[in-house]
Amino acid sequence: MREKNYSISLLRMLAVISIIFCHSFEYSSSIFINKGWILKSIGNYLANSVQVFLIISGFLYGNICGSKKNLFSNSKERINFLIKNSLKILKDY
């Protein structure tokens, strides 16, 4: 089994916290009308953490799939992979 990379986990955690603050600041900007522009601009800046989170998640997911050397050796394995991972995503809906 692979060793966990704590620096990537830390970056991912910081991205999640930034996303939470982004939503909080954008919500608060509608409440505080006088200073709302400040909160909205901070929220817009923190919105970049969504892309950071998605890039890190894609990197981690790619490492998991890349570790399986013969994952796509035939079409049946490809279809099973797509079905299994689609169900992971769609089970919440």
Convert the pLDDT of each residue in 17-59 to its tens digit: 988 988 888 788 777 777 777 877 888 888 888 888 888 888 8
Burial label for 46, CB within 10 Å (0-12, 13-18, 19+), is: buried
pLDDT class for 66, splitting at 50, 70, 90? low
Domain ranges of the chain: 6-90
- Residues, the chain: 93
pLDDT class for 87, splitting at 50, 70, 90? confident
- CA–CA distance, 81 with 63 (Å, rounded to integer): 15
The more confident residue out of 62 and 70 is: 62
Q: What is the pTM of this model?
A: 0.60
Rg of the chain (C-alpha set): 19
End-to-end CA distance of the chain: 32
